[in-house]
Amino acid sequence: MIKKIIWLLAILFMLGLVSQPLLAEEEKKPAADYSDEPWERAALYLGAFFVDADSDLELGGGGVRVKVDGEDVLGLDETMTVFRADAFWRITRRNRVDFTYYALNRDGTNELSIDIPEPGGGTIPVGTKVKTDFDMTILRGSYAWSFFKNKFFDLGIAAGLYGLAVDFSIKRDGSGGSGREETDFAFPLPVIGLRGSFALTPKWMIRQSFDYFYVNFGDYEGQLVDFLAAVEWNALKHLGLGVGYNYIQMDLDYSGSDNFLSEIDLTNGGVLAYAKLYF
């Protein structure tokens, strides 16, 4: 929990630094009447994320590692429904900040079909029944600037951070605390992206976002693609409904470390269904 709070504070701090020069420039411009534009000043999205997951994990120790299919070999959940929260605040007409939170907590029990090497030089052999817990928490914050905006289109570029916390453990089923291997780490993922909103009518709109990152420093190497498209209906004043699809593909390599889990190749795709509180 402390790691998650630290990441959130770091994201907020970085957004504040990035936004200050552009906000100052925006304030110098003369006022204009944009009352016919349908874009909300702020919104909070709360709903469900119906996720289909596919993961390959590199496990091992002592210089010997194997790549395993998380679902087939470890029995991790392939589908799950998780709570998701998104929000944005439009600080000025062209400047906004966005936030996202959700957690993908999976577990599974299965008999191993391959040997898995352990950091101490031993092996978890074929046929061993193991219980695996694989938890990922995503905290995302980004700053976006609209380079083209009118009552029909809002197009912008974005930059921000993914705060990704990973907790992974595997143990022989029924062994209590013995025979347990675990890894936990936090990954700072700088992202750049695009934002697009399209007003079909005053009450119906399409929302899209695309984020990408690549980072390589120290023992860390990572790459991510995140694409979202959704249709929203502002059914009532201050209340809307939406449905969409979010695709995330990430490859995180921590193989320069001595961690039992050293690489994550993960693809998540799923439907979003949510309510929107807007102002």
Question: 123-145, pLDDT tens digit by residue?
Answer: 899 999 999 999 999 999 999 99
Positive or negative, the CA dihedral 217, 220, 225, 231 is negative
Average pLDDT over residues 187-192: 86
**Structure token pair of residue 237:** 């004043």
Higher local confidence (pLDDT), 202 or 45: 45
- pLDDT at 216 > cutoff 80: yes
Q: Are 33 and 40 in contact (CB under 8 A)?
A: no
Q: Which of 269, 226, 212 is nearest to 245 (CA)?
A: 269
pTM of the model: 0.82
Average pLDDT, stretch 76-80? 96
pLDDT band, very low/low/confident/very high, at 60 (cuts 50, 70, 90):
confident
Q: How far apart are CA 183 and CA 135, in angstroms?
A: 11
pLDDT beyond 60 at 110: yes
> What distance lies between CA 199 and its chain's CA centroid?
26
SS (H, E, C) 26-68: HHHCCCCCCCCCCCCCEEEEEEEEEEEEEEEEEEEECCEEEEE
Q: What percent of the chain has pLDDT over 70?
A: 84
| ∠ Cα 240 245 250 (to 5°) | 130
Residues 6+ apart with CB under 8 A from 69: 55, 56
| Model confidence at 28: pLDDT above 90 | no
Domain ranges (residues) in the chain: 2-29+45-278
Residue 176: what pLDDT? 52
Mean pLDDT of all residues belonging to the chain: 86
In this predicted structure, what is the pLDDT of residue 186? Answer: 85
Confidence of residue 178 (pLDDT cuts 50, 70, 90): low
Residue 73, SS3 per DSSP: coil
Which of 218 and 225 is assigned the larger pLDDT? 225
Residue-wise pLDDT tens digits, 221-241? 889 999 999 999 999 999 999
pLDDT at 27 over 70: no
List C-alpha distances in Å: 233 to 27, 37, 39, 265, 276: 32, 16, 13, 35, 9
* 3-state SS string for 166-219: EEEEEEECCCCCCCEEEEEEEEEEEEEEEEEEEECCCCEEEEEEEEEEEEEECC
Evaluate if residue 6 carries a pLDDT over 80: no
In the numeric block, the tokens 């102002």 are attached to: 279
Sign of the torsion angle spanned by Cα atoms 71, 77, 79, 84: negative
Q: Which amino acid is residue 115, in one-letter code? A: D
d(C-alpha 214, C-alpha 144), whole Å: 19
Q: What is the CATH number of domain 2-29+45-278?
A: 2.40.128.90
Residue 10 pLDDT greater than 60, yes or no? no
Burial of 148 (C-beta count, 10 Å sphere; 0-12/13-18/19+) = exposed
Residue 200: count of CB within 10 angstroms of its CB:
13
Using DSSP's 3-state secondary structure scheme, residue 250 falls into strand
What pLDDT is stored for residue 13 in this prediction?
45
Does 11 have pLDDT greater than 50? no
pLDDT (0 to 100) of residue 18: 47
Report the 10 Å Cβ neighbour count for 216: 9
Q: Which residues contact 17 (CB under 8 A, 6 or more apart)?
A: none
What is the rounded average pLDDT of the residues 149-159? 95
